[in-house]
Amino acid sequence: MLTFSRLKKEYNSQPVLSVEHLEIGDGLHWLQGANGSGKSTFLKIASGLIPFEGDVVLNGISLKKNRVSYKRLISYAEAEPVYPDFLTGEDLVRFYNSVRQSDKKWSDKLIERFAIGSYWRHTIGTYSSGMAKKISLVLAFLGSTEFILLDEPFVTLDVATVNTLINTINEYHRQGKNFIFTSHQSAEMVHLPITSHLLADHQTVCRLS
């Protein structure tokens, strides 16, 4: 259970997001909203990437009080990932493996599944946006997380990779992992067993169904 309470976020003294109370239970959750409605900000806050007022609690662990334990349980893939261009995909996967104490065999499996083995030893500066996106998705699937937050995960991917991603999400979900996706697309297009729909609108996030 992911609980947001009295959450407030401002950029340059301009309020951009405010959530009084929201509970997101286990399952697959689809977060929709127009451009600039605060979807990405909401996920960045939940992942611990940016500072905010209020608190987010995951299964009793507070992000504000116990940052490291909280971040072990949650991972996040950005809509347009940015990584140091002098590092390789391999460097990043190894770095994540060590920080998230992830099993190397599992990362090897993901590399094979997402077909990044042919270029992951090249520097990120040589990657296309789709290649960088695949790396970011592999990184999000590493470690013993309970919630995986994916911002626009189906954008810039080819059809084969979209199918791989859907299969991986389903597999992780069967293992008891939970997801929040943001997307402009409708949930029906990707054939995932969505548990609830969330809406980002008017600087807040609420449950639709």
From the list 150, 120, 149, the residue with the least C-alpha distance to 135 is 120
Least distance between other proteins and beta carbon 87 (Å): 7
Q: Rg of the chain over CA atoms, in angstroms?
A: 17
Strands 2-11 and 14-24: antiparallel
Give me the least distance between CB of 152 and other proteins, in Å please.
14
Within 8 A by CB and 6+ apart from 201, the residues are 33, 34, 37
Nearest to 43 by CA among 13, 14, 81: 81
Contact segment (CB under 8 A) with other proteins among 21-29, 89-97, 111-119, 176-184 equals 89-97
Residue 185 has, within 13 A of its CA and on its CB side, a CA count of 12
> At its nearest, how many Å lie between other proteins and the CB of residue 128?
12
Shortest Å distance, C-beta 10 to other proteins: 9
Q: x/- string (CB under 8 A) for other proteins, residues 112-131? A: -----------x--------
Distance of alpha carbon 15 from alpha carbon 34, whole angstroms: 17
Q: Is residue 35 a contact residue for other proteins (CB under 8 A)?
A: no
Query: How near is the Cβ of 193 to other proteins at its closest, in Å?
Result: 27
The answer to whether the beta carbons of residues 198 and 208 sit under 8 Å apart is yes
51 near other proteins, rule: CB under 8 A: yes
Q: How many residues does the chain have?
A: 209
Shortest separation between residue 74's beta carbon and other proteins, angstroms: 8
Q: Which of residues 130-189 bind other proteins (CB under 8 A)?
A: none
95 binds other proteins (CB under 8 A): yes
Residue 100 is a binding residue for other proteins (CB under 8 A): yes
Instruction: List the beta bridge partners of residue 23.
Output: 3
Residue span binding other proteins (CB under 8 A) among the ranges 24-32, 72-80, 180-188, 192-200: 72-80
**Cα→Cα distances 47→94, 117, 193, Å:** 21, 27, 23
Please give the residue ranges that form the binding site for other proteins (CB under 8 A): 11-12, 40-41, 44, 47-51, 67-72, 74-76, 78, 81-87, 91, 94-100, 123
